[in-house]
Amino acid sequence: MYASFRSIGAYVPSEIRTNQWFIDRMDTTDEWITKRTGINQRRIASKEQLSSDLGVEAAKIAIDRAGIKCDEIDLVLCATISPDYMCMPSTACLIADKLGISDVMAFDISAACTGFIYALSVAKAFVESGMKKNVLIIGAEKLSSIVDYTDRTTCMLFGDGAGAAIISATDNINEAIIDVRCSADGSQKDLLMTPGVESGEKQFMQMKGNETFKIAVRTLTNDVIKILEKNNMSNDDIDLFIPHQANYRIIKAVGDALEFRDEQKVLTVDKYGNTSSASIPMAINDCYESGRLKLGDTMLLDAFGGGLTWGSAIVKFAAK
Ligand SMILES: CC(C)(COP(=O)(O)OP(=O)(O)OC[C@H]1O[C@@H](n2cnc3c(N)ncnc32)[C@H](O)[C@@H]1OP(=O)(O)O)[C@@H](O)C(=O)NCCC(=O)NCCS
């Protein structure tokens, strides 16, 4: 039994927050933000919209495109660092409930910006072991709820949104997810973190931007080299290189180091900012909806985030 990537969906809230919003409120310029990050705008959820609401909308599209019904889903995984509730109930439980999916396992994955690749890895293992047939994986983030809008070096980086996919069992090896590799290093916990409830600090994201930048470029690049080598593949075997959308300069540095051609590289950070675990499925969905991603295409996913965590995946797009 193999695991196949059956469908993709995404949802972004309607409010667009341009760089001007930050210029009006803090000491910054459009030039500084665009030059250092490549971000022009992000989407911001309304007060009433929580991560589970964003995730539900993305999931509905992915389920519909997979041509399955909610009662055929036997596992729900949600990657998020901005859950509706602190620790419990999980956002996956809330999404399953809102979709009317009951009596199946549902849990969250906390791997920051690598969350979607972690979820993909867990879904693949459950399907390949024969334990589950149709897994709904979601990356859903309302990062605007954990951003410190008094910290001008980080607040303009992040946005809200969600992406979802259905991972299904298949006996056709040509449809199989080729490989997923994930890693972690907790010794670097201070680079990107939200303080704990006992810390006395507010639960806002904190980041050592400069150090994170350098480690991100190195780690993202090495990870791709390793996964390609392990699978005896080269850049030419990849149709779309879809890295975590954190920052244009990181993506450019990694893309250049790996010598991907422009038509292989996917960039959405300019319009959505960094949406953590949602960024990769949102980018896949953009490619799908614009006709850039087609049945049978091979995607190379690559992410890095707080933990530290990092991971990459080589995935055939096996839409029905
Ligand atoms: C956050 C980031 C854009 C900051 O860029 P940087 O080049 O590292 O900037 P620095 O923090 O060194 O600051 C450089 C200068 O800009 C200033 N600055 C910081 N924020 C500013 C802002 N919003 N507007 C204008 N100036 C600003 C700083 O005060 C500093 O001024 P100084 O040189 O007079 O001291 C960059 O570090 C980055 O992208 N890091 C990775 C972030 C990321 O993607 N993390 C997620 C990974 S999953």
Cα gap 77→55, rounded to integer Å: 11
32 lines ligand 1 (CB under 6 A): yes
CA of 158 to the centre of ligand 1 (A): 14
DSSP notation for 121-182: HHHHHHHHTTS-SEEEEEEEEEGGGT--TT-TTTGGGB-EEEEEEEEEEES-GGGB--EEEE
Stretch 175-197: mean pLDDT, rounded?
A: 96
- The DSSP output letter for 70 is G
Count how many domains the chain has: 1
pTM of the model: 0.97
CA of 194 to the centre of ligand 1 (A): 19
213 C-alpha vs ligand 1 centroid, how far in Å?
10
Q: What confidence category does residue 205 fall into, taking pLDDT thresholds of 50, 70 and 90?
A: very high
Judge if the beta carbon of residue 143 lies within 6 A of ligand 1.
no
What atom in ligand 1 is closest to the CA of residue 276?
48
Residue 53 domain boundaries: 1-320
Residue 129 pLDDT more than 90?
A: yes
Write the CATH number for 184. 3.40.47.10
- The number of the ligand 1 atom at minimal distance from the alpha carbon of 303 is 48
pLDDT of residue 47: 97
Q: Is 7 in the pocket of ligand 1 (CB under 6 A)?
A: no
In percent, how much of the chain has pLDDT > 90? 98
- Mean pLDDT of all residues in 64-71: 97
Q: What sign does the dihedral 14-278-144-159 (CA atoms) show?
A: negative
